Structure 1
Amino acid sequence: MRYLLGLDIGTSGTKTALFDELGNTIATATYGYELFQPQAGWAEQNPEDWWQACLNGIKDVIDNSKVSGSDIKGIGLSGQMHGLVLVDKNYNVIRDSIIWCDQRTEKQCEYMTKVLGKEKLIEITGNPALTGFTLSKLLWVRDNEPENYEKVYKVLLPKDYIRFKLTGVFATEVSDASGMQMLDINTRNWSDELLQKLEIDRNILADVYESVVISGHVTEEVAKLTGLEVGTGVAGGAGDQAAGAVGSGIVKEGIISTVIGSSGVVFASTDTPRFDKEGRVHTLCHAVPNKWHVMGVTQGAGLSLKWFKENFCRKEIDEAKEKNINIYDYLSKEAAGSKAGANGVIYMPYLMGERTPHIDPNVKGGFVGVSLINNHADFVRSILEGVSFSLKNCLDIIEDMKVEITDVRVSGGGAESEVWRQILADIFNYKLSTIKASEGPALGVAILAGVGVGIYESVEDACEKIIKGQDVVNPNCDNIALYDKIYKVYNSLYPRLKDI
């Protein structure tokens, strides 16, 4: 039997997963790390923490599975998108990585728009200037830390730093590079026009490949540290959303993915680039060769529930521990005790600004409609509903772009909640299906690696064989009209919050 390894460098931790060529999960390991917030709206991580988590994870899955390193035929890399990793000429990290949810770069986005124009930015990169994307972060370092900018030898994304540590090669691939906002998504290569106008040296960018291409091979040093075979191929891989889409079989038009992770994403594959003129959803290169995708993103999805848990659930955490219940399962059960509409409480999930449909890094979240009748369960349910309303905003825009929708699949940590899945089905008014690909992005990039090393003929062929549907959730007809009414109120609240 041949095996494939998938690494998913996430925001809260790195998951390492080993699969056989049939897509069965053989072993997994997850190691967490810190997120630093030096100021409000800032978010940073230490790339060396990612690397240590990868080393530990690889060693664990090899040791626990008893699979020989020589039987692992390929490695795929997935990672949180948009993070800025700066490396000097000695291959050392210059500063902590500024990651995807950081919102400090508003001035740099204004500069990008002034120099290039909003329409030109969308035409080239598929997106207007965005605070979360990599380019504005690079410009922020140039403006505010010139001593660090002068040291820059290479600009990398989180997963591509791990690629360098595994292989010694500086490389990226089209799906993740699309989120840097320096790639021409039409040609699937760096935009010389954009780089020249913004006075950025193309040489500081890594070579860009299609996601299935083997971009490097495991070094002797890494083999000794991990148990991998020297020369094992490392595929281009994908940004976490494209990787998760492959791992859920979202590789052709008509199939829509909704992911409830730290952020929330509605993702659709397209055969040609599709653009929203207002830039409310992202258009990026897919990890599938010669395909693209549109993607709406809400910043504070699972992040909202995590924030609420950490600040307002001391009692619930203690009770969950006593009963040996996962705290999120506990909160999900609690939310089920509140009726649809959360007894009037509406949650706006803008804890880290917003991207879709409001490109607004400064908007703040809030609970609206609170009265003396409300209890803890209402607040928990309102979070699940508010995030789902925000995801509905994403879906509406994609529908307005005339993207075909025949099948909606849901995944991510939030989708493990039966209550949250039902709420989402009711608000979307679509039948939802979950996927037996619980490892999501890690499986997706393992598939990409499998194509790269010749185990699978194509991404589509592999997904057809491996990805199978699981549970189906039908909308509850009793709740559809109620949620439609609340959705209208929800949409009216942003203008009232944006100036607070």
Structure 2
Amino acid sequence: MSKQYVMGLDIGTTSAKAVIFTKHGDVVSEAEVGYATLHPAPGWCEQDPLEIEAAAIEAIHTAMTRSAIDKEAIISVGLSSAMHSLICVDAANTPLSPSITWADGRSAALADELRATDIGERIYLATGTPLHPMSPLLKLLWMQENKYEPYLKAAKFLSIKEFLTSRWFGEDAVDYSIASATGLFNIYTRQWHEEALSLASIRENQLSRPVPATHLFTGLDVDIAEQMRLDPNTPFVAGGSDGPLANLGIGAINPGETAITIGTSGAIRQMSAAPHTDSRQEVFCYAFTDDLWVLGGPTNNGGNVLEWLKNTIGHAELTAALETQQDPFDVLIDAANQVAPGADQLLFLPYLNGERAPHWDASARGAFIGLCSTHTSHHMARAGLEGVLYAILSVAESLEALTGETEKLYANGGFARSEIWVQMLADMFGREVHLPVSHQSSAWGAAWVSLYAVGEVTDLRAIKQSIPMKGVVVPDMEKHEVYRKMFEVFREMYGVVGGSVRKLQRV
């Protein structure tokens, strides 16, 4: 049988997704398996790495069997994962700790302290990783300060993707973009950063060998291969983190091409031919390949805001959805769309889970600004959806200060399934928004890197010819003018209420 399919395995924040594509980017099979997130203490966010491993294996198995894909038909598997996870393991790759995720906030006080120092600025300028509790560097500092037993006993420190590849292939290797997101990796030299390692009191041999995105993992464990329904000779390719791979998978590769992803959280990113960091420390810059870097900023709040709105003010919409067998989120967004842009001068700061870019403030909190007696739940829903996009626009301003103006806007992630929400994005940015057919852009980016690594395609940028696109959303410039004026107020509000929020938290 000829090898005709390629797989992307995406280890996300809440689930593992295996997607099987043709070489032209058409999805032929996919499967998703979720896993739990645990909060054993306030601000802590942990997952079971063995549960994630089982979910990844099951997702691949299900994707293979669901469409009766023969194992001999798979060319290669590309790997993608969420950033900033950290697991303490022993020499045999047995976990000594949970996987501590990007959302963990236990090191918030340490992050604030380090950000205010010269050494903190030097580490950011070299590594491109903002000083925030998401960073494995800060997690390690917390472990060191608190004499965390798994840290003291660890032979190695791995991300969730390294954990899987180390167990499946017996090789400790980490791609540049996952390494970059640790705060321990110099994005200019593409080597571990000695000053950061010294600060965390760890040795270079406790970390994996940095490798390019095209690095091949071969010799898949026979038992694991059988569980996956794959040939053990199937090459796996290192790929990268979900951010740059989403840009690649959506076609946002050239200067001025910007990708916006909104799932549970959100991000905006551009690829660059050179690294960029500056003393403002507002955006990240991560290495991807030897000649490509990704710049951007994540926001903690995206689809979680819609979930919160549904649960707090969306009771009528939830009831209507049950009666009509509709998706309650669609009903809530339809209700919000009954309100004019700007929600009748109502603003929502969407910082329900603190905020990352551009403020990097784990203590930030949400707020409605301008609420009055004429506002309804529909106004609040509209303001909530707009608030998520205003936060993305705030990051876009910081990003454009380093990379130049956005020329072409792409969107993917769960929010891209909503025509209304994407139209809001186009109107707010005043730009056309280009949408792919598949929302699995990170998986397709990973799959394409694997095709490049095994010689099936000639270069990474050629993916632009193999991305099935759904269409273009055109902005309404009259609505854009309303949003422009509202955003002028929004950008002031963090500074206005931030001090009061911090005082409130000390009451």
TM-score w.r.t. structure 1 length?
0.95
Instruction: Report the residue type matching 1:475 in the other structure.
Output: P
Aligned partners of 1:69, 1:210: CA distance in 2, in Å?
26
Partner of 2:261: helix, strand, or coil?
strand
Q: Spell out, residue by residue over 1:97-137, the C-alpha distance to the aligned partner (whole angstroms, 9 max, x if none).
A: 21112222123325645776233113210234222111111
Q: Does 1:130 align with 2:132?
A: yes
Aligned counterparts of 2:146 and 2:327: Cα–Cα separation in 1: 43
CA separation of 1:284/1:371 partners in 2, compared to 1, >3 Å: closer, same or farther? same
Partners of 2:432 and 2:474 within 8 A in 1: yes
What secondary structure does 2:236 align onto? strand
Q: Could you tell me which of 203, 206, 223 is aligned with 1:201?
A: 203
**1:64 aligned residue:** 66
Q: What residue in structure 2 maps to residue 214 of structure 1?
A: 216
Distance in 1 (alpha carbons) for counterparts of 2:321 and 2:156: 46
Return 5+ residue gaps in structure 2 as ranges: 502-507
Most deviating of 138-147 and 221-230: 138-147
State whether residues 364 and 497 of structure 1, in contact with CA within 8 Å, keep that contact through their aligned partners in structure 2: no
Corresponding residue number in structure 2 for 1:54: 56
Aligned residue in 1 for 2:179: 177
1:264 to 258, 266, 291: 266
> Would the aligned equivalents of 1:177 and 1:208 in 2 still touch at CA under 8 Å?
yes
Aligned identity (percent) is: 28
Q: Which moved more, 1:266-275 or 1:103-112?
A: 103-112
Matched residue, 1:465: 465
Secondary structure, counterpart of 2:492 in structure 1: helix
SS for the counterpart of 1:401 is helix
Report how far residue 247 of structure 1 moved.
Answer: 0.8
> Which residue number corresponds to residue 438 of structure 1?
439
Contact 2:25 2:468 in 1 (8 A): no
Query: Which stretch of the first structure deviates more once superposed, 182-191 or 245-254?
Result: 245-254
After superposing the two structures, state which structure 1 stretch, 119-128 or 376-385, moved more.
119-128
Contact between 1:119 and 1:128, CA under 8 Å: does it hold in 2? no
Identify the residue that residue 86 of structure 2 maps to in structure 1: 84
Decide whether aligned partners of structure 1 residues 154 and 255 sit closer, same or farther in structure 2, where only a CA change above 3 A counts: same
Post-superposition CA distance 1:309-328 (Å, at most 9, x none) = 34443443343233222222
Partners in 2 of 1:65 and 1:267 — Cα distance? 34
CA contact (8 A) 2:255 2:271 kept: yes
In 2, the alpha carbon distance for the partners of 1:49 and 1:265 equals 26
Superposed, 1:337-348 pairs within 5 Å as 337-348=338-349
Flag the 1:314–1:12 CA change in 2: closer, same or farther, 3 A.
farther
Please state how far the C-alpha of 1:193 moved relative to its aligned partner: 3.4
Q: CA RMSD in A?
A: 1.9
TM superposition shift of 1:252: 2.2
> What amino acid is aligned across from residue 63 of structure 1 in structure 2?
T
User: C-alpha displacement at 1:404, in angstroms?
Assistant: 4.7
- Hey, what does 1:35 align to over in structure 2? 37
Give runs of aligned pairs for residues 93-112 of structure 1, distance below 5 A: 93-110=95-112, 112=114
Kept in 1: contact 2:129–2:182 (CA 8 A): no
Distance 2:218 2:116 in 1: 38
Give yes or no for contact 2:351–2:364 (8 Å, CA) kept in 1: yes
1:117 match: 119
**2:353 matched residue in structure 1:** 352
Distance 2:348 2:444 in 1: 33
* Counterpart code for 1:399: E
Q: What secondary structure does 1:132 align onto?
A: coil
Which structure 2 residues correspond to residues 259-408 of structure 1 after superposition, within 5 A? Answer: 259-286=261-288, 288-408=289-409
Match of 1:158 among 141, 160, 177: 160
1:318-355 Cα deviation digits (max 9, x unpaired): 43233222222222212111211112321111122112
Q: What is the alpha-carbon distance in structure 2 between the residues aligned to residue 145 and residue 67 of structure 1? A: 49
Q: For 2:236 and 2:197, locate their aligned partners in 1 and report how far apart those are by CA, in whole Å.
A: 28
List per-residue Cα deviations over 1:68-93 (Å, max 9, x = no partner). Answer: 11221211111111011221223211
Query: Does residue 484 of the first structure (1) align with residue 484 of the second (2)?
Result: yes
Q: What secondary structure does 1:344 align onto?
A: coil
One-letter amino acid of the counterpart of residue 448, structure 1? V
Aligned letter for 2:86? L
| In structure 1, C-alpha distance between the alignment counterparts of 2:90 and 2:310, rounded to whole Å | 39
CA contact (8 A) 1:363 1:497 kept: no
The answer to whether residue 13 in structure 2 is matched with residue 11 in structure 1 is yes
Q: Following the alignment from structure 1 to structure 2, what is the Cα–Cα distance between the partners of residues 206 and 376?
A: 50
Q: 3-state SS of the aligned residue for 1:130? A: coil
Unaligned runs of 5+ in 1: none
Q: Secondary structure at the match of 2:10?
A: strand
Whole-angstrom distance in 2 between the partners of 1:448 and 1:365: 39
CA distance in 2: counterparts of 1:322 and 1:166, whole angstroms: 47
Aligned residue number for residue 232 of structure 1: 234
Greater shift, 364-373 or 408-417, is seen at: 364-373
Q: How many Å apart are 1:168 and its aligned residue? A: 2.9
Post-superposition offset of 1:487 = 0.8
Q: How many residues align?
A: 498
* Runs of 4 or more above 3 Å deviation: 110-116, 310-315
Q: Give the structure-2-normalised TM-score.
A: 0.94
> Aligned pair in 2 of structure 1 residues 128, 31: CA closer, same or farther (>3 Å)?
closer
